[in-house]
Amino acid sequence: MRFQDRVALITGAGSGIGRATARRLAAEGARLALVDWSGDGLEDTVAAIRQDSAGTAGADDTLWTGIIDVSDEAAVERCVSDVIKAFGRIDVLCNNAGISGGHLPVTEQSTSEWQRVLGVNLAGPMLMIKNVAPHMQAQGGGAIVNTASVAGIRSGAGGNAYSASKAGLINLTMTTACDLGSYSIRVNAVCPGLIETGMTRPVFEYARSNDKEHKLGSRCELRRYGRPEEIAAAIAFLASDDASYITGQALPVDGGNTASLNMPGMK
């Protein structure tokens, strides 16, 4: 119960890794502010948390939901102020909402799509941190965990806007850790490898319908793709006091994918 009496705000909580993180933190006692631009997704997450706890957690005073676009500055400001009205504090911020955008080479990249991906994946976390950190400063501390990607460390997984946004998010993690360290606010990132979620559904559907299922995760040293719960476990660790001396770091949770050169003929 590492999050007993703590309030966590999770973006992208309506699906995949964000939903798994919400369930994990709820199971460890957190009160939750769940944010997504999909109201249906949030409803399913709330239902899952209620089912997990069999009625012992997830009552209305422990779960708050907000339907916003994290790249909309005015909406983020309103959202954070509403969460503070509801709970009085924010101990944990998980910037997890993200979009993959089109998988196009730079010569085919539209400027508007580039700005949309950077807006959600990079400006979104910045806006959330900008609005949440003052409350953490006033409280005397907090923990922020950003969901970056292995695509921000290497490239080739996702389009060029996606990789650039996640590389930017890794540096934003370091920069904000420097800005906020003296206030006892820790900022870290997880870098998931290939995980089966809404975002990667097309990848999985394509592989399964083209006799390529064996290729999913085949470049990972663990020889498999990952589950949302395996990312949620790492996010929960970084958000908890177990990681009390860790800040400014980006932790790959990728089955060994980024550790490896994946040399042909070596497997």
Q: Which residues are part of the catalytic machinery?
A: 162
CB 116 within 8 A of CB 159: no
Q: Write b or e for each residue in 79-99: b if 16 or more Cβ atoms lie within 10 A of its Cβ, otherwise e.
A: bbeebbeebeebbbbbbbbbb
**How far apart (Å, rounded) are the C-alpha atoms in residues 210 and 204?**
10
Give, as ranges, the residues between 141 and 160 that touch ligand NAD (CB under 6 A).
147, 149
**How far apart (Å, rounded) are the C-alpha atoms in residues 6 and 29?**
8
8 makes contact with ligand ADP (CB under 6 A): no
CB nearer ligand ADP, residue 145 or residue 231: 231
218 makes contact with ligand ADP (CB under 6 A): yes
Among 9, 117, 118, 120, binds ligand NAD (CB under 6 A): 120
Nearest approach in angstroms of CB 117 to ligand NAD is 10
Nearest approach in angstroms of CB 207 to ligand ADP is 7
Among 219, 232, 239, 251, binds ligand ADP (CB under 6 A): 219
168 makes contact with ligand NAD (CB under 6 A): no
198 makes contact with ligand NAD (CB under 6 A): yes
* Phi–psi pair at 244, nearest 5 degrees: -60, -20
Nearest approach in angstroms of CB 183 to ligand NAD is 25
100 makes contact with ligand ADP (CB under 6 A): yes
Give, as ranges, the residues between 4 and 63 that touch ligand NAD (CB under 6 A).
11-12, 14-18, 36-38, 41
CB hemisphere CA count around 26 (13 angstroms): 31
CB 180 within 8 A of CB 128: no
- Both tokens of 166, joined, read 């996640």
- Positive or negative, the CA dihedral 203, 232, 145, 56 is positive
Q: How many helices (H) and strands (E) in the chain?
A: 8, 7
Q: Which residue, 89, 81, 77, is CA-closest to 30?
A: 89
151 makes contact with ligand ADP (CB under 6 A): yes
**How far apart (Å, rounded) are the C-alpha atoms in residues 119 and 172?**
14
CB nearer ligand NAD, residue 42 or residue 180: 42
- Per partner kind, with CB cut-offs from 5 to 8 A, the member of ligand NAD, ligand ADP, none near residue 53 is none
CB 142 within 8 A of CB 90: yes
97 makes contact with ligand NAD (CB under 6 A): yes
CB nearer ligand NAD, residue 58 or residue 217: 217
Nearest approach in angstroms of CB 41 to ligand ADP is 18
CA dihedral 232, 238, 239, 243 (to 10 degrees): 140
**Which residues contact ligand NAD by CB under 6 A?**
11-12, 14-18, 36-38, 41, 69-71, 96-99, 120, 124, 147, 149, 192, 194-195, 197-200
Give the interface with ligand ADP as residue ranges (CB under 6 A): 100, 149, 151, 157-158, 194, 199-200, 203, 215-219
